[in-house]
Amino acid sequence: MSDQENIRKRKLKLIQSLGINPYPTNSIKINNNIKNILKNKKKLINDNKNLYIYGRIFNIRNIGKASFIDIKDYSDNKIQLYYNLNNLSTKKKNKKYFIYLFKKYLDIGDIIWIKGLLFITKMSEYTILIKNIKLLSKCLYPIPIIKKTTKKIYYQFNNIDKRYRMRYLDLILNPKIKNNFKIRFLIIKYIRNFLYKFNYIEVDTPILQKIPGGAYAKPFITYHNKFKKKIYLRISNELYLKKLIVGGFKGVFEFSRNFRNESIDKLHHPEFTILEIYIINKNYLWMMNFLQKLLIYICKKIFKTTIIKINKKIINFKKKIKIKKFYSIINKYSKLNINENTSIKTLKKICKNNKIKIKNYNKDKILDNIFNFFCKKKIKYPTYIIDYPIFMSPLAKSKTNNKKLVERFEFYINSIEIANAYTELNDPIEQYKRFKSQNKDKNIIDQDFLKALKIGLPPTVGIGIGIDRLIALLTNNLNIQEVIFFPQMK
């Protein structure tokens, strides 16, 4: 334990010896917050009524027998408090009490309650003259000091490792980070509002799954003691939502925490949030329009505009979103000439020529890598990629005019895949064939899902939207860990 921590522990005991509970339980009277006080400062000065507020101490300046204290509350605004002995009760006992409390025992990080009046200092700063003060919570861990003016930051708390491991400190010290999470909350809130308007219902499906289906990824494996069986944390909820559509809902959605046992980077996290939406009697073209409307809605609600700056690029969600065909865009950027009939041999040759690593990949992965290599970084503005080959999309319905392509789109912004949508394959026999061609092992095939398809899935469109990525983009962060409260650390 550091010296500074020991000093604080000693102070805690001294505070208790004054008869003060450093962690009181009483509910406290609060009649304002700092943001509101600053907003209505002129009126409040005229009113000359007592303000009851609380806040965490960020700075203390003792000048002789006077003191200035800066506090900040949940409204994330700071206000200066002032006291000198003349303002406090005239009783000598109390004077001593306050001197000790202010000068000796209060620290940066403490949470206090105060009663006081607003006034303006000689330096024209709106300040609260303290008439009474109570300690609400003593801070025993010395928090890093941030010093800055409007122009320059002198000291800061910016070590990524420490910020993520102690996110509570990060939130206290870095208002911008806190704001990211407020926006996260708002994005999810307004997506819900938007979907509720259509009477789609929000559902919960199993996180523990016997077969981790709906995607390809390494799952987290656990064990069910009663079943005496391995059980997996879901990598996707897709198959379950379709089962619900079979069950007769018009539209369902779930903010699904998915788990994939893969590595962490700017765009990947072992547990991440995907919004999955399934709607009957619609197809992927309808969904393109729907997604755009959703984005416009949340941007208008949160930012009051559809024009957002993302990674130095101005993006207007109201503009028509570009539509590019999967093979066309590859051919455009690579100057190749490939299509859905191109053989795996040719694709492998292309990879070899361009030094694209492919190990023992299947055709779908090879093609995905070719796309990533030539195209991904070039798709900066909102774009729908369509006309994916069937072998890359085992759960999507094929196009009527070309059975080798599917009714699917992926949505990209700033080179990041934000959403993936398709008209759902609802032919159970076709679905079985596709599963079988992908998995030789029959045990991995979700027979229950196939049974549901046999009973009958109405024409349905589904979409998965990477919520963490979307939030990162809309808050202009390049790393999703900035919008996940507690990223996984080793």
Choose one: 115-123, 130-138, 239-247, 397-405; the region binding RNA (CB under 7 A). Answer: 115-123
Q: Which stretch binds RNA (CB under 7 A): 226-234, 259-267, 306-314, 321-329?
A: 259-267
Binding flag, residue 371, RNA (CB under 7 A):
no
Using rule CB under 7 A, residue 107 touches RNA:
yes
Least distance to RNA, CB of residue 63, Å? 4
Beta-bridge partner residues of 323: 384
Closer to RNA by CB, 58 or 240: give it. 58
In the set 52, 216, 286, 333, which binds RNA (CB under 7 A)? Answer: 216
Which span sits near RNA by CB under 7 A: 92-100, 122-130, 189-197, 314-322? Answer: 122-130
Crossing angle of helices 284-303/175-197, nearest 10°?
130
- The whole-angstrom separation of Cα 161 and Cα 489 is 8
Q: Is 211 in the site for RNA (CB under 7 A)?
A: no
Is position 343 an interface residue for RNA (rule: CB under 7 A)?
no
**Interaction pattern, residues 402-421, with RNA; x per rule: CB under 7 A:** ---------------x--x-
Binding residue for RNA, selected from 31, 40, 62, 402, defined by CB under 7 A: 62
- Give the x/- contact pattern for RNA in 19-58, rule: CB under 7 A: ----------------------------------------
The C-alpha atoms of residue 475 and residue 299 are separated, in whole angstroms, by 11
Q: How many residues does the chain have?
A: 490
- The token duo for 85 is 């002995």
Using the 8-state DSSP alphabet, how is residue 359 labeled?
A: T
Contact 53, 113 (CB under 8 A): yes
Rounded CA-CA distance 48/34 in Å is: 16
Q: Which is nearer to RNA, 52 or 119 (CB)?
A: 119
Alpha-carbon distance of 75 to 42, in angstroms, equals: 19
**128 contact partners, CB below 8 Å, separation of at least 6:** 37, 51, 53, 79, 80, 81, 82, 114, 116, 117, 118, 119
Please give the size of the binding site for RNA, defined by CB under 7 A.
Answer: 80
Which position among 46, 90, 91, 123 is part of the footprint of RNA (CB under 7 A)? 123
Give whichever of 246 and 373 is closer to RNA, judged by the CB atom.
Answer: 373
| Amino acid symbol at 360 | N
Q: What are phi and psi of 386, to 5 degrees?
A: -125, 180
Angle at the Cα of 343 from the Cα atoms of 337 and 349, rounded to 5 degrees: 70
Which of 24, 29, 89, 155 contacts RNA by CB under 7 A?
155
For residue 56, list its beta bridge partners.
72, 111
Which range touches RNA (CB under 7 A), out of 21-29, 353-361, 397-405, 423-431? Answer: 353-361
Backbone angles phi, psi at 406, to 5 degrees: -120, 160
CB nearer to RNA: give 85 or 344. Answer: 85
Among 194, 272, 384, 449, binds RNA (CB under 7 A): 272
Q: Which is nearer to RNA, 417 or 430 (CB)?
A: 417
Residues 218-237 that bind RNA (CB under 7 A): 218
Burial grade of 188 (CB within 10 A; 0-12, 13-18, 19 or more): middle
Do 235 and 212 form a contact (C-beta atoms < 8 A)?
yes
Out of 77, 132, 207, 270, name the contact with RNA by CB under 7 A.
270
Near RNA by CB under 7 A, which window of 15-23, 176-184, 265-273, 339-347?
A: 265-273
Site track for RNA across 450-469, x = CB under 7 A: ----------------x-xx
Which part of the chain contacts RNA (CB under 7 A), choosing from 188-196, 331-339, 362-370, 441-449?
A: 362-370
- 93: which 2 tokens? 């006992």
- Note whether 258 binds RNA by CB under 7 A: yes
CA atoms within 13 A on the CB side of 484: 26
Q: Quick one: 154 or 223, whose CB is closer to RNA?
A: 154
Could you say whether residue 180 binds RNA (CB under 7 A)?
no
3 near RNA (CB under 7 A): yes
The reply to whether 80 sits near RNA by the rule CB under 7 A is yes
175-187 b/e with 16+ CB inside 10 Å = b?
Answer: eebeebbebbebb
Of the residues 52, 97, 100, 157, which one makes contact with RNA according to CB under 7 A: 157
Give the nearest distance from C-beta 275 to RNA in angstroms.
Answer: 12
Exactly one of 17, 43, 64, 229 binds RNA (CB under 7 A); which one? 64
Closest distance of CB 362 from RNA, Å = 9
Report in angstroms how near the CB of residue 387 gets to RNA at its nearest: 18
**Separation of alpha carbons 462 and 196, rounded Å:** 17
Q: Which residues contact 362 (CB under 8 A, 6 or more apart)?
A: 391
Cβ 93 to RNA shortest distance, Å? 17
DSSP 209-262: ESS--SS-SPPPEEEETTTTEEEEE-S--HHHHHHHHHTT-SEEEEEEEEE--S
- Report residue 386 CA to chain centroid gap: 27
Among 28, 160, 208, 444, binds RNA (CB under 7 A): 160
Among 35, 134, 365, 380, which residue sits at the site for RNA (rule: CB under 7 A)? Answer: 365
Return d(Cα 141, Cα 231) in angstroms, integer: 41
